[in-house]
Structure 1
Amino acid sequence: MRLSRPRLRVSQPRSAFAEGNARWTNRDLDPIPKHLRKWGAASLIAYWISDAFNAATWQFASSIIAVGLTYREALAIVALSFFIMSFVIAANGAVGAIYHVPFPVIARASWGFWGSYVAIVSRVILAIFWFAIQNVNGGNAVRIMLGAIWPSFLTLPNGIPDSQGITTNGMVGYLIFWIIQFPFLCMHPNRLRWLFVVKSAIVPIAWIAILVWAFVAEKGGGNLFAQQKADVSGSKYSWLFLANMTSVLGNYATLSVNQSDFSRYSRVSPRWQLLYVPMLPIIFTFISFIGIAASSAGQAQYHLSSIPWDPMVLMSYWPSRAGRFFGAFSFVLASLGVNISANSLSAANDFTALAPQFLNIRRGQILCALLSWCLVPWKILESAGNFLTFMSAYAIFLGPIAAIMLFDFWVINHRRYDVLALYQPWNPRYRYAGSVGWTAGVNWRAMVAFLVGVAPNLPGLINAVNPAIEVGSGVHPYQFGWILSFVATAGVYLCLSWWFPAQETQIEQAVLPDEIYDGTGAVVEGLDADEQPNVRVESADGENNVKYGSQSSAEKVV
């Protein structure tokens, strides 16, 4: 058997969308045809349950308490934040469910072909950061599992300086977790839905068991539930409330823009996206409550001077080796699922859009995994304060991007996009040239709105990165950065789009991908390794082209 040599360029069979256009698309960026839309309602629900059960959600409320607020305020912040975010996720996710294209392609409609790179690069950087953060969480869970099997592992001599925020056994756990998730990075998203189903069945059971332990070990759940007042008051209380709310919003700000990366595989009505509005606040608040109860019980049970807001620290005190092993395993599975669903696939779609001739989703995920090592993420998670600072920084760039995409689709263009024009840079539809030729390919309205949304947060961001730089009251806008950037960007973008309308993008009827796929006769020849049918199309000039799609009743066999 002769093995084919690996190729630098990815496979790019010709399609109705990629014809003469390899610079802007490949097979993974083309709209998903009917036969590959395998995500039903159950898959979408399992995906979100899977995504919610992760260490960061556990840490939301407990890390808020660690900086001075009570458990009531912590739960209120989580519930309110996800109630707000659920509307944005549902609205932007519906675009993917209608047009079956990923975030980088949808961004071309509101930003222009070249302007979309601002949104793409912003998201890919942040996705790699969060991928690295979840690697640390998963690595810590692996370390606890190994310690349960081999107790002396936890006492290995540490050869890493304390200033780095990680130990030798922690680095071993990080490496093992990185290796464990590697095979999943090579899977097609349609196959990954089974990972989310398995996780949504196993992890909730394990965490509910931890919740039961918390109330059994310490009747009443520990001392945190007896706390009546926050440690701060007045204006400091208000700013701290907003800062923590921004941190929670920042954690899922990425999914406010990348939900279409998964909803594009949906075979059910886009209305199913509305399910997120009641579901997300309930699920995420419940998980945060588990984190509060377990952290509170752990502090009381083991007579700790501080709250063990990190679940790995909490489990390290458990006397049962079996309990530590299976508890940590649930966090390994939790981190694995969310790292792929929220981070590696997002980064992969962005990398694919940046270099479609050389990168596809599989290669993009591998590249994300390799780059994550460069970010030393263990230093970000060194303390509760650093964790919240990172999450706040995460939010201020994605709030404007989400606002522009949401209002462009639902308000400015009245839910009508031309999906074929999103793949044709020569088409005037989304060139945004107008009367100013030098802006071709860039929607200047989106650029201005983005800068207006981000600019007020920059002094606070600078101070957060380097507290030695004094910015005075300039720190306050940053403390509610996501809300400020989202609202400011939406207002500016709507005004500019109404005062200086882009007439070329206004169409009377949407152009959907199925209309393009079914517009030419075709016959399925076979399946390739990714279950992608190769369809031969006879064009008007008699040339045989290859297209992805489903057969229609009017197809002509060639």
Structure 2
Amino acid sequence: MSFLSRILPSSEAFQSKDAFLNAIRVEDTLVVGDDKYVDPDPRFLNQDLEPTPPEKRTWDTWTYILLYTGISFGNWTLGSTMVGIGLNWWQAIVVIFVSQMISSIAMAFNSRAATMYHIGYPTVARAVFGMYGSYYFVAARAALAIIWFGVQLYTGALYLSNMMRAIFGSHFADIPNHIPESMGITTKGMLCFFLFWLIHFIFCFFRPYQLKKFFWFKGFVMVPGIVGVFIYCMIACHGNVSGALPSSTGGSLGWFIMHAINSGMGNTATLITNQPDIARWSTSKNAAITSQLFVQPIAVTLSATFGILATAGINRQWGLELWNPWDLLDEIQTRNNHPGARFAIFLAAFCWMIGILGTNIACNMIPFGSDSALLVPRFIDMRRGFFIVEFLAYAIVPWKIMASAATFTTFLSGYGLFMASVVAIMIAEYFILSRGNVFIAHLYNPTKSNPHYRYTGGFNIQAIIAYLVGIALPFPGFAVSLGASGLNQSATDMFDLGWLLSFFASLILYPLICWVWPTENQKIIREQGLAWEQEAKMYMGSNLSDGALEVVQVVEEHGKEKQVSL
């Protein structure tokens, strides 16, 4: 069978509409006589929405350690962002560590459901927000994943440009530009973007469980690449950074710190939200959680510290204002254009490019693939989602965004405000209200017969109320950051609290609402007196006897004749 025959429909598929739809329909995972789900609707499931089977749980502790190391060490410019806010260099480092520690704790909590039940973000969202309510929260994340995927593609192309110049020298640098300046990209820039796009294209053929070795490779090459550039910068500036960084803050220290923590949280907001899609491949319940708690804060802080000191020292030595690594590498080659230096620059740019590639796959491509599998389950699975986001990356023209839309990048950085409430509600539902119990058998039944996740017409109204309140509090300040006027200082101050305000507002409000007005699922859990993660124990194949009888009784009380043991 040829390559094209495996990815394209056969000629018979074009004979009629029904034939075409049947040809592109994803594999049906329902087996006749299989009773693992209660009244499942094929339109609401595929293999990517179902729990990850044991043979595909391939990511062990070291895989996660190297994954988070590779992702975290890409935060070279985070320190300059903190200094730009108004903190001095050591305050910036402390704030970065604190913000990443908070992020890691949130990541650990948001990973738990996935490590226990091996389900991704869309399926967790379905359990929390309802069979139909989940569509908004999945679609919103998918839209942002498309934009970030394109932006990261463009960023990685800049490192590829460093590599091309290091290899071909002036033959690459002097390529004539035939693209209008208004487009925000040059001919050689477009060439690098296309080449980096092609590299991503290769990974669209693999599912996450098949990418374990790649994430190992990424983790190993990212650290020496960044450390090498840092060492060069320290040697070039003779370790002298005195006078290159502010020694005191420029205003009220308290609000500067809060604004800085919010910026740090926004930097990892997508990673916090995406944890179920990363943790579901875990070989054990602790592999994803323990690694992120220790790796994330240390690696991000080290990378940002290297970025602060190295670029500050070089800027002082050379009289420049460089903060982006690709600009730094370009300037280094301009001043050291000999074979040895060019080879070193090539290696450094290659390491950074691999880091961007891995981050884009883990934080944008995999989440979008997962989201698209829920939005159109019968025709789009995770791998098809990879191809879709790959082509949409061109459609959003990211070079135009990066070149001219300053307010748009501000909007992207404020993304955390809208997802902090989502994470808070997921955590509250799992740890406080559902006691770690997720009824896998009922996650694929959209009808009124679903006693757990139908909620009110398919929407968890209590969760939606808590979400709206959580995003409403800092939203006026967010509008100010985008250029709105007529709002007082309090709005800006609430925006400075940002992620933390949204998160804790929803984390507190949602359980309070449910205490007064519990969902049907929460009532069932209380009535049955289910212990902590009792469903998970049954799902994992232990403690089946007593627990299974309790679940069967629940099903029968709601008019179900079918007996189901999870």
The question of a shared fold, defined as TM-score above 0.5 by the shorter chain, is answered with: yes
Q: How many residues align?
A: 507
1:287 corresponds to: 303
Which of the numbers 474, 479, 485 marks the counterpart of 2:502? 485
Q: In the alignment, does 2:129 pair up with 1:135?
A: no
Which of the numbers 445, 450, 466 marks the counterpart of 2:467? 450
1:317 corresponds to: 331
User: How far is 1:20 from its partner?
Assistant: 4.4
Amino acid at match of 1:77: V
Residue-by-residue CA offset, 1:119-172 (whole Å, 9 max, x unaligned) = 211211122221122112101001111111222322334444555543332222
1:187 corresponds to: 206
2:535 corresponds to: 511
Q: Given that residues 160 and 353 in structure 2 are in contact (C-alpha distance below 8 angstroms), is that contact kept between their aligned partners in structure 1? A: yes
Amino acid at match of 1:475: T
User: How far is 1:118 from its partner?
Assistant: 2.1
Q: Given that residues 139 and 170 in structure 1 are in contact (C-alpha distance below 8 angstroms), is that contact kept between their aligned partners in structure 2? A: yes
Unaligned segments of structure 1, at least 5 residues: 434-438, 521-558
Which of the numbers 224, 248, 253 marks the counterpart of 1:229? 248
Residue-by-residue CA offset, 1:403-427 (whole Å, 9 max, x unaligned) = 0001110011111121111222234
Amino acid at match of 2:535: V
1:244 corresponds to: 260
Q: Given that residues 151 and 399 in structure 2 are in contact (C-alpha distance below 8 angstroms), is that contact kept between their aligned partners in structure 1? A: yes
Amino acid at match of 1:490: L
User: How far is 1:174 from its partner?
Assistant: 1.6
Q: Given that residues 114 and 276 in structure 2 are in contact (C-alpha distance below 8 angstroms), is that contact kept between their aligned partners in structure 1? A: yes
Distance across 2 between alignment mates of 1:351 and 1:126: 13
1:113 corresponds to: 131
Amino acid at match of 2:106: V
User: How far is 1:366 from its partner?
Assistant: 1.3
Residue-by-residue CA offset, 1:349-388 (whole Å, 9 max, x unaligned) = 0010111101111111111122222333335545997697
Amino acid at match of 1:103: Y
3-state secondary structure, aligned to 2:77: helix
User: How far is 1:222 from its partner?
Assistant: 2.6
The answer to which of 369-378 and 138-147 deviates more is 369-378
User: How far is 1:176 from its partner?
Assistant: 1.4
Distance across 2 between alignment mates of 1:458 and 1:420: 38
Q: In the alignment, does 2:293 pair up with 1:277?
A: yes
Residue-by-residue CA offset, 1:421-474 (whole Å, 9 max, x unaligned) = 1222234333354xxxxx221110111111111123333333333x26443333
3-state secondary structure, aligned to 2:195: helix
Q: Given that residues 92 and 257 in structure 1 are in contact (C-alpha distance below 8 angstroms), is that contact kept between their aligned partners in structure 2? A: yes
Which of the numbers 278, 294, 312 marks the counterpart of 1:296? 312
Q: Judging changes above 3 Å, is the alpha-carbon distance between structure 1 residues 70 and 18 closer, same or farther for their aligned structure 2 residues? A: farther
1:428 corresponds to: 450
Distance across 1 between alignment mates of 2:286 and 2:498: 30
2:25 corresponds to: 9
The answer to which of 418-427 and 483-492 deviates more is 418-427
1:265 corresponds to: 281
The answer to which of 196-205 and 254-263 deviates more is 254-263
1:363 corresponds to: 384
Q: Judging changes above 3 Å, is the alpha-carbon distance between structure 1 residues 483 and 238 closer, same or farther for their aligned structure 2 residues? A: same
Percent identity (aligned) = 30
Q: Given that residues 470 and 506 in structure 2 are in contact (C-alpha distance below 8 angstroms), is that contact kept between their aligned partners in structure 1? A: yes
3-state secondary structure, aligned to 2:139: helix
User: How far is 1:345 from its partner?
Assistant: 0.2
Counterparts of 1:66-465 in structure 2, within 5 Å, are 66-152=84-170, 153-162=172-181, 164-223=183-242, 227-230=246-249, 232-234=250-252, 238-270=254-286, 273-304=289-320, 306=321, 308-318=322-332, 319=336, 320-382=341-403, 389-426=410-447, 427-433=449-455, 439-465=456-482
Distance across 2 between alignment mates of 1:94 and 1:382: 39
User: How far is 1:214 from its partner?
Assistant: 2.2
Which of the numbers 46, 59, 80 marks the counterpart of 2:66? 46
Q: Judging changes above 3 Å, is the alpha-carbon distance between structure 1 residues 271 and 324 closer, same or farther for their aligned structure 2 residues? A: closer
Q: Judging changes above 3 Å, is the alpha-carbon distance between structure 1 residues 497 and 20 closer, same or farther for their aligned structure 2 residues? A: closer
Amino acid at match of 1:309: W
Distance across 1 between alignment mates of 2:84 and 2:400: 18
User: How far is 1:103 from its partner?
Assistant: 0.7
Distance across 2 between alignment mates of 1:128 and 1:186: 18
Distance across 1 between alignment mates of 2:408 and 2:165: 25
The two structures, once aligned, show a CA RMSD in angstroms of 2.7
Q: Given that residues 60 and 287 in structure 2 are in contact (C-alpha distance below 8 angstroms), is that contact kept between their aligned partners in structure 1? A: no
Amino acid at match of 1:264: R
Q: Given that residues 71 and 225 in structure 1 are in contact (C-alpha distance below 8 angstroms), is that contact kept between their aligned partners in structure 2? A: no
Distance across 2 between alignment mates of 1:187 and 1:513: 31
Q: Given that residues 449 and 489 in structure 1 are in contact (C-alpha distance below 8 angstroms), is that contact kept between their aligned partners in structure 2? A: yes
Distance across 2 between alignment mates of 1:314 and 1:329: 14
Amino acid at match of 2:123: V
Q: In the alignment, does 2:488 pair up with 1:472?
A: yes
User: How far is 1:495 from its partner?
Assistant: 0.8
Residue-by-residue CA offset, 1:53-82 (whole Å, 9 max, x unaligned) = 32xx11111232244432222212211111
User: How far is 1:515 from its partner?
Assistant: 4.0
Residue-by-residue CA offset, 1:472-517 (whole Å, 9 max, x unaligned) = 3333322332111111111211110111112433432533497499
Q: Given that residues 64 and 291 in structure 2 are in contact (C-alpha distance below 8 angstroms), is that contact kept between their aligned partners in structure 1? A: no
Q: Judging changes above 3 Å, is the alpha-carbon distance between structure 1 residues 212 and 122 closer, same or farther for their aligned structure 2 residues? A: same
User: How far is 1:254 from its partner?
Assistant: 1.6
User: How far is 1:274 from its partner?
Assistant: 3.3
Q: Judging changes above 3 Å, is the alpha-carbon distance between structure 1 residues 460 and 370 closer, same or farther for their aligned structure 2 residues? A: farther
Which of the numbers 29, 35, 46 marks the counterpart of 2:49? 29
Amino acid at match of 2:503: F
User: How far is 1:238 from its partner?
Assistant: 4.2
Q: Judging changes above 3 Å, is the alpha-carbon distance between structure 1 residues 201 and 386 closer, same or farther for their aligned structure 2 residues? A: farther
Q: Given that residues 40 and 445 in structure 2 are in contact (C-alpha distance below 8 angstroms), is that contact kept between their aligned partners in structure 1? A: no
Q: Judging changes above 3 Å, is the alpha-carbon distance between structure 1 residues 424 and 513 closer, same or farther for their aligned structure 2 residues? A: farther
3-state secondary structure, aligned to 2:223: helix
The answer to which of 350-359 and 508-517 deviates more is 508-517
Q: Given that residues 419 and 512 in structure 1 are in contact (C-alpha distance below 8 angstroms), is that contact kept between their aligned partners in structure 2? A: no
Distance across 2 between alignment mates of 1:246 and 1:388: 16
Amino acid at match of 1:489: S
Amino acid at match of 2:348: G
Q: Judging changes above 3 Å, is the alpha-carbon distance between structure 1 residues 249 and 47 closer, same or farther for their aligned structure 2 residues? A: same
3-state secondary structure, aligned to 1:222: coil
Q: Given that residues 70 and 227 in structure 1 are in contact (C-alpha distance below 8 angstroms), is that contact kept between their aligned partners in structure 2? A: yes
